[in-house]
Structure 1
């Protein structure tokens, strides 16, 4: 028996020795002192400088609000980032930390804030604190009385003339001093920064855009609603060129913790349980304050007959819509993918290009086009087939229409993913079943379909979650219609997400706390369905692994 050579040219090396000619391994000290490129250094300086700037910018409001815990977290996180990226250690963390921070900022914090809002009465009339509510009540009750001081008024804004925040520019009739007023109060302006015309009207002011008559007229309601608190009452507009300092009819009395109307003597006592001033007969003042209401928003969904009935029917339809949309698009997309996957098909590339066109077009434009095609009077569908169907005027026809639209919009996606999954399945498997005497349907059911489901189940779960909250599909086609005569806030095609949107931003005033409570329900439902789906997917993977 011959023995292996051990010379320099031998292919066999002693254990633990590096092959001849290979570069020596880099020690930890060598790696720690690797040269830094100019580009890398510039990028690091830029990013760390941006981090420091954001930290300083965020620190000032935290200090002003006395949020010392938040300030401490800000300082600690900023110091941790500087330590992490100024040292050569913890390389994996350098890549993981940015993603984690973005996850917290854009996912965790919004979810926690929504969940926290669900336990409050936050909404129109309940957005600020109790002091803000008192100021709003007193300011809104200001009326002009004999002897009220009058001012020359100029309407201005700090931003765009059509959308910027409005302010009043006024001059004192006695001293001629110019001031600017908004909902926070009246502030004196430096005489060098303003131009005052004859008659005391301000024509220009540094930092403000004066509105002309046309611009002011288009925002007349906002001008009328603007109240500027003053030590003697409040300033309100009288037209577009004059303002008066009126007196508040309603005033807060700290002794009884109530609001009194000086003209009628009526009293509204503070109720911290509901965050409003309530009269003896149950009447509430419109301006209230934000308070913690516990589980009220959640129990209201289940116990309030005006809410629980529509909520349950909407939930059932929501499941039907999500299952129908997901299942229908999957079946159609898979069927087309299987047909085009056949070796006997010709021109498959052309067919695939044509079939994915709905997916390539903007969905919002297609939804609007489908809405017009379903129009009862001039829609293409009624005219083409000679029908006389009010598609969006009846509950079941409207539901059928929106699912049909989703089928057309969604099948290209399922077709694409099913095509990719089919190409990953070895043809030898299906050919083996044919050799064993199985029909094409038996081969598809026993081999192709199970392997497709293993690959596509996570996508089906995510598609279900997307369709469960598919706001655009409903809002841009039916807007939730048709609506019953006794409930204009909940339509036959409303999903929970569109119902929540209508509650939060409807014409009856925003109920953001209640809408957040429904959002928590939606989150829990989708989370449970997704968890069950992923668990079943893992079992399938174990069976067909």
Structure 2
């Protein structure tokens, strides 16, 4: 058979080459991913990787299973981009993962000991050069230190000391070049002086820290770990903090905790905390009520306004309909984040357009009620063009004969709309209203770019009057008081369950509408 490319079998050969290339890349990726899994002893993950790669090769190298050849790519993307993030978030919700609880217990011990390192008389001093593994401005810092006695050069990183490869050293012990590393100049090192000061290289008795940009010393840890008692002891005061595996922290007898802990499973405590802790449950439930009000108002008002305008412009007696439609769609064509920032300035108390236009002096974002009204008005302006577009399309799909028949039967305009037009519109529009509700329920930008959740009560600076659950979760996860990713993940699961329940019920009612009017 002659192909369109001018030769027999050209298309088949190109397809075979593409298949071999893609499968080769898949195998190469699997081999690359296997090494870190083996190093971390993640045998379950390694087994999944091997099984997935083997199944992929079997499907695409076999002449059978034609449907699977098309389903496998979509399934893999679904798992990677949908299921894995959901499962990871769900697993995080059952841990104490957050600031101070990120790594393992051993990581916490090393961090506690190295952060307590102090210089003592007679400590060894080294010639120091700063290097990076990559870009001089952003690459990870490593120390190149020269032993004053042996003149041997070592590389120091967060894991400890190891021998250096080929290096060029000055008579004073300063390293000017190192194989595989970029040695920083004085100017480059000065730009990262704070990182260099905070950087430590753990050793058996303490850690190596910098003393300026050209010298380093080996200090002694002021707090040491005792494996026998599983505790941290302050060598100066004798104070002891014992490991509490249930909380992932070292705790003293009087309840004081060291800031650096480790990640552990906490069961359902994040969920029960959201519902039983008075400092959280009260704001959480108030935020949930406002979240529903915001989503319903944003969806409902935009739908009513968009439908009303669509009906008004649906009449053939309106001249210049296309021109008006273009004007009405303009808010939808603008970047939403830019429009939100513009509206925030328009509601400004002192120089905002709203107060200037109406001659008022309302502090829109200063009161709970006015701030909530303001964000709903902003959503009305941003959201009605979408509803106008979908309503216009749905109206044009309704046969004109049905409306003519209602006129013949003597039905008025309102009766025709209520009994014929609206029911027929709701069949295609109900799924869109459900998706709009779900979007507005988690509409982070609408709140964060206008009010940032404000106003805040004096007794609670983490939960504002206009906060949605999503912005409240964001503030918990990335707030100034410290990130609580586990707790934020638990609230995210609450949000997911609420939206999923409402969507399920609404879609069932949509099917009932389809059965009634089909």
- Residue-by-residue CA offset, 1:371-391 (whole Å, 9 max, x unaligned): 222222222222232222222
Name 1:113's counterpart in structure 2: 88
- Give distance in 1, aligned partners of 2:194 and 2:468: 34
Name 1:335's counterpart in structure 2: 308
Give the 3 Å change call, closer, same or farther, for CA 536–117 of structure 1 in structure 2.
same
- Residue-by-residue CA offset, 1:6-46 (whole Å, 9 max, x unaligned): xxxxxxxxxxxxxxxxxxxxxxxxxxxx9962332222122
One of 237, 242, 264 as aligned partner of 1:269: 242
Deviation at 1:198, TM superposition (A): 5.1
Name 1:365's counterpart in structure 2: 338
Question: Between Structure 1 and Structure 2, how many residues are aligned?
Answer: 510
Is the deviation greater in 200-209 or in 220-229? Answer: 200-209
Deviation at 1:219, TM superposition (A): 3.5
Name the SS for the 1:203 alignment partner: strand
Is 1:164–2:139 an aligned residue pair?
yes
Structure 2 counterparts to residues 250-289 of structure 1, below 5 A: 250-289=223-262
- Give distance in 2, aligned partners of 1:60 and 1:269: 36
- Give distance in 2, aligned partners of 1:200 and 1:186: 17
Name 2:6's counterpart in structure 1: none
Deviation at 1:55, TM superposition (A): 1.3
Is the deviation greater in 55-64 or in 98-107? Answer: 55-64
Name 2:397's counterpart in structure 1: 424
Q: Which has the larger radius of gyration?
A: 1
CA-based RMSD: 1.8
- Give distance in 2, aligned partners of 1:491 and 1:426: 49
- Give distance in 2, aligned partners of 1:297 and 1:38: 57
Is 1:145–2:120 an aligned residue pair?
yes
Give the 3 Å change call, closer, same or farther, for CA 238–408 of structure 1 in structure 2.
same
Is 1:348–2:306 an aligned residue pair?
no
Give the 3 Å change call, closer, same or farther, for CA 517–241 of structure 1 in structure 2.
same
One of 40, 46, 57 as aligned partner of 1:65: 40
- Give distance in 2, aligned partners of 1:162 and 1:485: 42
Name 1:23's counterpart in structure 2: none
Name 1:18's counterpart in structure 2: none
Deviation at 1:458, TM superposition (A): 0.6
Residue ranges of structure 2 left out of the alignment (5+ in a row)? 1-8
Give the 3 Å change call, closer, same or farther, for CA 258–79 of structure 1 in structure 2.
same
One of 480, 497, 503 as aligned partner of 2:470: 497
Is 1:406–2:406 an aligned residue pair?
no
Deviation at 1:270, TM superposition (A): 0.8
- Give distance in 1, aligned partners of 2:248 and 2:116: 19
Structure 2 counterparts to residues 223-242 of structure 1, below 5 A: 223-242=196-215
Structure 2 counterparts to residues 43-54 of structure 1, below 5 A: 43-54=18-29
- Give distance in 2, aligned partners of 1:373 and 1:421: 34
Is 1:178–2:141 an aligned residue pair?
no
Name the SS for the 2:317 alignment partner: coil
Name 1:459's counterpart in structure 2: 432
TM normalised by structure 2 equals 0.94
Give the 3 Å change call, closer, same or farther, for CA 357–537 of structure 1 in structure 2.
same
- Give distance in 2, aligned partners of 1:507 and 1:199: 45
- Give distance in 1, aligned partners of 2:177 and 2:374: 57
- Give distance in 2, aligned partners of 1:259 and 1:411: 61
Give the 3 Å change call, closer, same or farther, for CA 239–397 of structure 1 in structure 2.
farther
Deviation at 1:503, TM superposition (A): 0.8
Is 1:315–2:288 an aligned residue pair?
yes
Deviation at 1:313, TM superposition (A): 0.9
Residue ranges of structure 1 left out of the alignment (5+ in a row)? 1-33
TM normalised by structure 1 equals 0.90
